[in-house]
Amino acid sequence: MIKVTLGVSSSISVYKALDILRRFKERDCNIRVIMTKNAAKLVSPILFETLSGNPVAVDMYENRSSQKVEHIELAKWEDIFLVAPATANIIGKMANGIADDFLSTHYLASTSKVVVAPAMNGRMYRNRAVQENIEKLKQRGVFFINPKKGMLACGEEDEGALEEPLKIVETTLSLLTDKYLLGKTVLVTAGATREYLDPVRFISNPSSGKMGHYIAEEAQKRGAKVILISAHSYLNPPEGVDFVKVDTTSQMKEEVSKHFKKCDILFMAAAPSDFAPKQKSKEKIKRESGSLKIELEPTEDIVSSVAKIKKKSQIICAFAAETENHIENAKKKIKTKGVDFIALNDVSKGDSGFESDLNEIILIDSKLNSFYLGKETKQNLASKLIDKILKK
């Protein structure tokens, strides 16, 4: 479990720190919060204490119940130290070695990676003194998440607004991720393909594309060049990946075949249709035509086709969505398709799988060994899946 110290100073955007904390908790992080006294006047420390499940530090000398020096013990505990929002005042203290409250004192004691997300008036942010303090800290290895342009408390739209909580959390955690995939190319498919009966009707499935998008995001964080080939999904592609949009199974096969030769790992997390209408009407089929019979034919198996040209150095992880005889069916697929891994998930359960934030995965390797990765968020499972494949 990643241990994060969150420093909160008295910007008007202090309320967003609660969302930052919540998003860290969603990723199973352990959070300790330090607030400046002025920040504690804007938002009650009780809120942070309730959400984090840990006591909140505000006063250096309040409630001393042990002989331990609290800011030193906290510095030993943490994996990473984030200050968000960070005012011009706290940035100035950090840059110049001033330690007159718990937060600034903790910074001097910390030996972990330090991340700062400024939030202040645009004129203040551009002030030469503030910029020089930021530059000082950058030279010492402090990582800055720059503020964005937005509506400020003064009523002006200007740079200085705190970056979005989700981006702050993802950027902070990415700094802790080992870059095991640096120099590698990872190809990921996602989403549901469509097979058209006429211009307005199609056969598809409920895949949301979340699993594939999270795998792409996690691989990118670990240093890989990522190519994401996605069929229909309402999700925006993760920042930094090469994104290819497709519609039908044949289009997905074409793109996978084009990019496969240069990839090191393929995660086939999409849900391409197994069948397509044998004939497609050029015009919309009218209701007046009466009963309708649709003849279906199988689509080409994308995974099997690329597995035939796979080099020994390449890894293919296919996905199997099953409703019965789960392990047995998945083991058959790993033999017939010629892949290295199958990520098996039971889509018959209503609380996980398609259209859910949760999934439950059993990973099966080419020697038919099974590894239960658990029932968790798809984001957490993406990380576990990559960990397991890299370890194997």
Q: Provide the annotated active-site residues.
A: 154
Of residues 137 and 180, the one with the higher pLDDT is: 137
Instruction: Provide the 3-class DSSP secondary structure of residue 316.
Output: strand
Q: Which CATH topology does 3-174 take?
A: Rossmann fold (3.40.50)
Whether pTM > 0.85 for this model: the answer is no
Span 306-324, pLDDT tens digits: 999 999 999 999 999 888 8
Same fold, 3-174 and 185-276+295-391: yes
Span 267-295, pLDDT tens digits: 999 999 999 999 999 999 988 767 888 99
Handedness of CA 84, 86, 92, 98 (dihedral sign): negative
Give the residue extent of every domain in the chain: 3-174, 185-276+295-391
Span 322-347, pLDDT tens digits: 888 889 999 999 989 999 999 998 87
pLDDT of residue 60: 72
Token pair 């004939």: residue:
279
Confidence of residue 18 (pLDDT cuts 50, 70, 90): very high
- CA 363 to CA 351: how far, in whole Å? 20
Q: Which two tokens stand for residue 308?
A: 């035939």
- Give the residues across from 343 on adjacent strands: 319, 363
- By the 8 A CB rule, do 259 and 252 touch? no
Span 61-119, pLDDT tens digits: 665 444 455 667 888 889 999 999 999 999 999 999 999 999 999 999 998 999 999 99
Please check the confidence at residue 355 and state whether its pLDDT lies above 70.
no
pLDDT of residue 380: 86
Which residue pairs from 251-256 have beta carbons closer than 8 angstroms and sit at least 24 positions apart in sequence? 251/193, 252/189, 252/193, 252/302, 253/300, 253/302, 253/305, 255/229, 256/187, 256/189, 256/229, 256/302, 256/306
Pick the closest to residue 212 from 272, 141, 258 (CA basis): 272
- By the 8 A CB rule, do 341 and 359 touch? no
- By the 8 A CB rule, do 345 and 320 touch? yes
pLDDT of residue 93: 97
Span 43-67, pLDDT tens digits: 999 999 999 999 999 987 665 444 4
- Looking at the chain, the whole-number percentage of residues with pLDDT higher than 90 is 71
CATH superfamily, domain at 185-276+295-391 = CoaB-like (3.40.50.10300)
pLDDT mean across residues, the chain: 91
